[in-house]
């Protein structure tokens, strides 16, 4: 890129690189949009929205990591739903993520609850 009497003159290679970078960004956000499902924001300032989007991206990264480490062939949406349902269960995450439908023993301390 160079200037000629105040105008920017871009080479074909520069325009090609910019278009590819723009396309990569579009694909990235197209992939994130259905996964985030952010219906409302807790805060509406620019900083609050950024923090919430970062939290959503970190959560998605952790979920994808769990999916990649699991022996069970999870679909990401099923993993998210199952984790939401088992959020307060006292189970080993590693055992559960590999064998989600295996019968588990109830620890003696929890037997009193039943």
**Cα–chain-centroid distance for residue 111?**
36
Chain segment 55-80, per-residue pLDDT in tens: 888 988 899 899 999 999 999 889 98
**What residues does each domain of the chain span?**
1-36, 42-114
Whether pTM > 0.85 for this model: the answer is no
Query: Would you give the DSSP letter of residue 75?
Result: -
């Amino acid at each position: 890129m160079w200037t000629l009497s105040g105008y920017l003159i871009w080479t074909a290679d520069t325009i090609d690189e910019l278009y590819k970078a723009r396309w990569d960004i579009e694909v990235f956000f197209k992939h994130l949009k259905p996964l985030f499902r952010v219906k409302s924001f807790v805060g509406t300032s620019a900083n609050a929205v950024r923090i919430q989007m970062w939290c959503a991206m970190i959560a998605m990264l952790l979920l994808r990591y769990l999916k990649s480490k699991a022996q069970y062939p999870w679909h990401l949406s099923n993993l998210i739903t199952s984790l939401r349902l088992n959020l307060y269960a006292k189970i080993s995450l590693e055992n559960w993520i590999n064998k989600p439908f295996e019968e588990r023993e109830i620890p003696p301390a929890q037997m009193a609850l039943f």
